[in-house]
Amino acid sequence: MTEDSGTADAGLDAETGRELCRRAESVGLAAVDVDDAELLHGWRSDPVAAYEIGIWPRSLTAMRERIERDTEDDDRDDFLVLLPDGTPIGHIALSNQNIVNGTAQVELMLAPEYRGQGHGSAALDALVDLAFGELPFHRLAVETHTENASALAVLTKSGFVHEGVSRAACLHRGRRHDLAVLSLLRPEWEALSRPRAWDA
């Protein structure tokens, strides 16, 4: 992703020296680097995250290789979610980007100790503002387990609309799980009354 006038204001995080791509009210977003592999590996190894998101831990080497591969991938952008003091608390991404159709998927995962404090909503709002305010997307979509009440609450708070359910679409620990499908369209984002991330 290229830096533009909207992202240039984010600047350098004084605590960590990391370049912030986006700053919101309570969090900042910084591009994921290969050196972040151990951090992401630890978060993905959390059993609650694995269950709710439907992922499984991979080796640290595989995580490094994935980050290196994704860095060269034009259809995704990955960010660390940082507190104002520079503490990394999660990962958020725009994946499966299709510029022709104006669509992308949203991924979000917070470290266990930082869940339920409003940081997920702040990070999601910042990413959504990037997708619609700086990039040419028209539709953002998310899938999560229908039982993942906390994720569904965060998505609804950020304006995402429940579209339906993909039945038995995820296999995890020997069980089939339904996936809730939610989306946010550009006109719906434009109608939101909340402040934009660049006003933080």
Question: Among the listed ranges 16-20, 29-33, 80-84, 170-174, which one has the minimum average pLDDT value?
Answer: 16-20
CATH superfamily of the 5-199 domain: Gcn5-related N-acetyltransferase (GNAT) (3.40.630.30)
The pTM is what?
0.82
Provide the pairing of β-strand 103-110 with 139-145.
parallel
Report the amino acid identity of residue 73.
D
- Condensed to tens digits (0 to 9), the pLDDT of residues 88-110 reads 999 999 999 999 999 999 999 99
**C-alpha span between 32 and 110 (Å, rounded):** 14
Q: What is the mean pLDDT of residues 120-124?
A: 94
How high is the pLDDT of residue 17? Answer: 60
Region 24-35 average pLDDT? 87
